A and B are shown apart, each in its own frame.
Chain A
Amino acid sequence: MVILTIKTLLSAVRPPYPYGEELVDQFSFVLKLCWFPLLISTFALCVGAPGLQAAGILSLFGGLDRLGGFFVVTAIRWIGPVVTAVVVSGVAGTAITADLGARKIREELDALQVLGVDPIKNLVVPRFLALMIITALLDIFAIVFGLTAGIVAELVYHQSLGGFFATLFANASVTDIWGSVLMCTIFGAIIAIVCSYKGMTASGGAAGVGRAVNQAVVISLVAVFAFNYVFTAVLLATNPELQTIR
């Protein structure tokens, strides 16, 4: 997998660049598949977990306007990137593994190599780049819908929205956003590499493709969450200004 990462990175930057069209194709394919599951997932998760649970305890203190500040911590710093990664790996990652695995089983990848077409440059690189970009962009989408869920939770408790927005914008910082987006870019890279690798090494007929998809999604989820833990710990420890409540 490490070898595949290095090869992908090298052939992404080394000319010629024949993968432009495939990149656009993959980009729109992932976007079409992901937007609806992501919308429902972030909305449901943010209404439930940070929305109603936190609003419950904040209403005991009589400080429901503080929910905005809490949403910076949860929706932007944590849930946005994580749910994006889960949805992208579950939706786009599985599709990539199934696609490449099917090509491997039907020996199309070998045929490509015989024809002198490099499968890494023409198949893996566009998926890698597309997933990196789109995961970062979908993260913004997820944050927007997460905050919408926060507004819904606030309305459930019959609060005015002024306090929510005031604490939200007071607490959100540029570091939060770029941390979130950068994290998602790396998530996209991890997912693309794991899923392409598992697809390209699938073997064993019908059961093999299914098993490859299964392993790919498990490995990418665990890798994403492990990386998320390290990244969050580093981000919070190295940027003390994130920890002040305003």
Chain B
Amino acid sequence: MNAWLEVPRGWLDSFGEIARFGSQVTGQVFSGRVLRFFGESVRQAGILIFGSALIIWAFVFILGLQCGIQGAYLFRAQGVPSYAGLFSAWCDLREALPYAFGYILSAKVGTGIVAEIGAMRISDEIDALEVMGVPPITFLCASRLLATWLVLPFVYLAGIGIMYFASYLAVVEQVADVSSGGYSLIFWMFQNPPDLIFSLIKGMAMATVIVLVGCYYGYTASGGPVGVGTATAKSMVFNIVMVHILGMLGTVIFWGANPRAPIGG
């Protein structure tokens, strides 16, 4: 029976430590101490743009196509194919995009950070940093968090555009039940700027948690090359669950009491 409860028990063990570590890193960013290493932040931001942005957008594009066809077939069945825009507007902006962003970030960026920092920990480079008088948490973790905050909002916004385009392709060009104008009318009617802001907040909360969890598991990796691999795997498990929980909380907080739809009173 113990083996079955190992995963939840491991989370309970590490949750407090991750929270402490995360608040420490966030504190370093807010107190401005990370600005000493602003160059490192810019370098990390560049790595994010060149390494992860394209894959995020590709993933978002595929999910946009999915939202499109599911919505198109759903509303064709209801007899109102012109309302496919409703499904794709909500699916794209409110739910699918934050989740897609969270999945691919935890897969690409989160595990990447664990692999990188974990390898530094294993080869004693972090101790070397400390000996040289460079605070390792600020240099390695806080600078990555700052880079995330600098770059990812823009990647996210561009991703929204790509996803809209993909849904348009799927609904109007692939399934082709509705004209382009009819689709756009409903599509834009069912969203407004606050929705965009809420969606962005959801996505950025996920990104912050993913980077912090990645930094924690990398920073505390131990046990040789195998240890880095296991730490990477563990961080992925934790991140996936956190992405889903944050997604649910975001939905409940932002749209739970008020669906924000232009229907009725």
> Interface on A for B, CB 8 Å cutoff?
32-33, 35-37, 40-41, 44-45, 47-49, 52-53, 56-57, 59-61, 70, 73-74, 77-78, 83, 86-87, 90-91, 94-95, 97-99, 101-102, 105-106, 205-214, 217-218, 221-222, 225-226, 228-229, 232-233, 236, 242-245
A107 CB → nearest B CB, Å:
12
- For residue B74, which residue of chain A has the nearest CB? A73
Q: CB distance B236 to A91 under 8 Å?
A: yes
Q: CB distance A32 to B63 under 8 Å?
A: no
Main secondary structure of the interface of A (DSSP, over half): helix
B205 CB → nearest A CB, Å:
14
Measured as residues with beta carbon below 8 angstroms from the partner, the interface class of chain B is 35 or more
In the assembled complex, 18 residue pairs joining A and B whose CB atoms fall closer than 8 Å, in A order, are A33-B237, A45-B248, A52-B252, A53-B90, A56-B261, A70-B74, A94-B233, A206-B119, A206-B227, A209-B226, A210-B229, A211-B115, A213-B115, A214-B108, A233-B174, A236-B69, A243-B73, A244-B77
Main secondary structure of the interface of B (DSSP, over half): helix
> Interface on B for A, CB 8 Å cutoff?
3-4, 6-8, 55, 58-59, 62-63, 65-66, 69-70, 73-74, 76-78, 86, 90-91, 94-96, 99, 103-104, 106-108, 111-112, 114-116, 118-119, 122-123, 174, 224-233, 236-237, 239-241, 244-245, 247-248, 250-252, 255-256, 258-259, 261, 263-264
Within the assembled complex, what's the spacing in Å between the Cα atoms of A233 and B77? Answer: 15
Contact status of A232 and B69, CB under 8 A, knowing A41-B240, A57-B261: yes
Within the assembled complex, what's the spacing in Å between the Cα atoms of A60 and B259? Answer: 9
When distances are taken between beta carbons in the complex, the residues of chain B under 8 Å from A97 are 229, 233
Taking A44-B245, A49-B99, A205-B119 as given, write out 11 further A-B residue pairs in contact, using a Cβ cutoff of 8 Å, ordered by the A residue number.
Answer: A36-B7, A37-B241, A41-B241, A49-B96, A49-B247, A53-B251, A57-B261, A94-B236, A210-B116, A229-B65, A229-B69
Within the assembled complex, what's the spacing in Å between the Cα atoms of A229 and B259? Answer: 28
